[in-house]
């Protein structure tokens, strides 16, 4: 009987040690280190002209291997951040578990899209975590000028 008691005590101890979650690598707590990066690959630095178009290519990644939770790409008028002419994706929560996400789109530089000759614009790419828009926030910007046709 004594041996049975010690055997069950030993098995219970082993069970608690095996099920201990304190050393999990999966951290969804309050101190997640995302090490996010947003990199604008395109457009390049070539001259932009009215009635032309630009290809947008942005790479979002977590250098810590965490999921990319939220992203945003927008274009706004330099000096007038409220004049936003491009704002995608419509739902920023993408939850890319691979730790990488790429955004591709084509955008026409037309008056119908809110652009005008001799104007300056900012392309902004942001990536952030789960809790708030400042959680692990990383931002990259690219300024460009739109010339007449």
Tell me the C-alpha distance between 42 and 9, whole Å. 63
Domain total of the chain: 1
| Tokens (6 digits) for 148 | 């007449």
Is 131 contained in some domain? Answer: yes
Instruction: Judge whether 100 lies within some domain.
Output: yes
pTM passes above 0.85: no
Domain span including residue 99 = 33-147
β-strand partners of 48: 146
What's the pLDDT score for residue 114? 97
In a domain, 68, yes or no: yes
Asked if residue 6 is part of any domain, the answer here is no
Q: What is the pLDDT along the chain (149 residues), one digit of tens a residue?
A: 666 555 565 556 555 555 554 444 444 445 678 999 999 999 998 999 999 999 999 999 999 999 999 999 999 999 999 999 999 999 999 999 999 999 999 999 999 999 999 999 999 999 999 888 889 999 999 999 999 99
Instruction: Return the structure tokens found at 131.
Output: 């809790």
Residue 58 lies in a domain: yes
22 within a domain of the structure (yes/no) = no
- Report how far residue 83's alpha carbon sits from residue 103's, in angstroms, rounded to the nearest whole number: 22
Q: For residue 106, what are its two tokens?
A: 């084509």
Residue 54, in any domain of the structure:
yes
- CATH code of the domain containing 89: 2.60.40.10
User: Is 15 a domain residue?
Assistant: no
């Amino acid at each position: 009987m004594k041996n049975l008691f010690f055997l069950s005590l030993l098995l219970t101890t082993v069970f608690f040690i095996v099920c201990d979650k304190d050393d999990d690598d999966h951290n969804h707590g309050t101190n997640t280190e995302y090490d996010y990066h947003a990199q604008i690959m395109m457009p390049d630095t070539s001259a932009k002209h009215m009635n032309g178009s630009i290809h947008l290519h942005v790479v979002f990644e977590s250098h810590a291997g965490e999921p990319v939770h939220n992203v945003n790409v927008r274009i706004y008028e330099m000096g007038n951040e409220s004049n936003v002419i491009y704002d995608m994706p419509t739902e920023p929560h993408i939850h890319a578990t691979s730790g990488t996400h790429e955004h591709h789109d084509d955008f026409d530089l037309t008056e119908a899209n809110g652009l005008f000759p001799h104007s300056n614009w900012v392309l902004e790419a942001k990536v952030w975590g789960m809790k708030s828009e400042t959680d692990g926030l990383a931002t990259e910007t690219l300024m460009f000028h739109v010339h007449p046709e």
